[in-house]
């Protein structure tokens, strides 16, 4: 399954924090040559990833060290982009690993009692350039072993079946219509801070 050089890398990523640091070291996959959904093998080789690809690599690295390879889908309002995170448990609490070009929507310490509580930690920073807070729904953890027949860890082809399946999962609303109506916009300093990115598109 894993090649020698891949095993060497995965052995080093022996904690969730190290996995997050490794994801942060990768370039952002801006999909300049077309949309992709690369396997962890391709991400390691190409040294670039977007959120779905980074989450799958994180799940594979966590699995290598005994965790279940779990992803959670964060669904935004239609005017914004969805996000995918890898989640893990330590001492009966949930944490998360994420790949993003922005300063937020990344690592979450394993201090959250349940998935909803973890998801809500992303809410206030999940806003667009107009300051509108856009996180709306989440899925329960999806175990990637469901997709072992696709060889999701090492496939050379794009793995579109996985994000499509995650989108079909039952999602849970986090806000009532009244709450959505009364959301305060992020203010100017928050919006300015939210525009800090790891890598420009060039």
94-122 tens-digit pLDDT: 999 999 998 889 999 999 999 999 999 99
In a domain, 8, yes or no: yes
In a domain, 202, yes or no: no
In a domain, 164, yes or no: yes
Q: Which two tokens stand for residue 173?
A: 């609303």
| Residues of the domain holding 20 | 4-194
Q: Which two tokens stand for residue 15?
A: 């904690």
In a domain, 200, yes or no: no
Q: Is the pTM of this model over 0.75?
A: yes
Count of structural domains, the chain: 1
In a domain, 40, yes or no: yes
pLDDT tens-digit readout, 150-185: 999 999 999 999 999 999 999 999 999 999 999 999
Query: Which candidate, 62, 102, 111, 60, places its Cα nearest to that of 83?
Result: 102
Neighbouring C-beta atoms of residue 53, cutoff 10 Å: 26
């Amino acid at each position: 399954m894993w090649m020698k050089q891949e095993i060497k890398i995965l052995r080093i990523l022996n904690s969730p924090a190290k996995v997050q640091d490794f994801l942060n070291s990768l370039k952002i996959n801006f999909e300049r040559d077309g949309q992709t959904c690369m396997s962890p093998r391709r991400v390691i080789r190409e040294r670039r990833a977007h959120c779905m690809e980074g989450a799958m690599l994180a799940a594979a690295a966590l699995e290598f060290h005994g965790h279940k390879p779990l992803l959670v889908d964060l669904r935004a309002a239609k005017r914004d982009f969805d996000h995918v995170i890898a989640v893990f448990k330590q001492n009966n609490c949930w944490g998360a690993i994420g790949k993003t070009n922005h300063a937020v929507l990344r690592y979450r310490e394993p201090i959250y009692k349940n998935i909803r509580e973890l998801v809500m930690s992303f809410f206030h920073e999940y806003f667009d350039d107009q300051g509108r807070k856009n996180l709306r729904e989440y899925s329960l953890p999806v175990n990637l072993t469901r997709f072992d027949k696709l060889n999701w860890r090492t496939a050379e082809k794009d793995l579109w079946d996985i994000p499509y399946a995650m989108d079909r999962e039952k999602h849970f609303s986090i806000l009532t219509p009244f709450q959505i109506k009364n959301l305060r916009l992020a203010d100017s300093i928050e919006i300015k801070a939210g525009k800090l990115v790891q890598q420009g598109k060039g």
